Amino acid sequence: MALLFSPSLFDFPALPHYHFPPTRKYV
């Protein structure tokens, strides 16, 4: 899943600390 492994697309400025686990940010 490129969407889950794309921190650039799911990297929100409001959640910089969630840049490492992009998948857990939604799960």
Residue 21 pLDDT: 55
Q: Is 18 left (phi over 0), alpha (psi -120 to 50) or beta?
A: alpha
Residue 22 pLDDT: 54
Cα–Cα distance, 2 to 13 (Å, whole number) = 20
Residue 1 pLDDT: 44
**Length of the chain as a residue count:** 27
Please enumerate in sequence order all residues whose Cβ is within 8 A of that of 17, keeping only pairs 6 or more positions apart, or say none. none
The pTM of the full predicted model, rounded to 2 decimals, is 0.12
Rounded to 5°, the CA angle 26-23-1 comes to 120
Per-residue pLDDT tens digits for 1-27: 455 555 555 555 555 555 555 555 554
Residue 27 pLDDT: 47
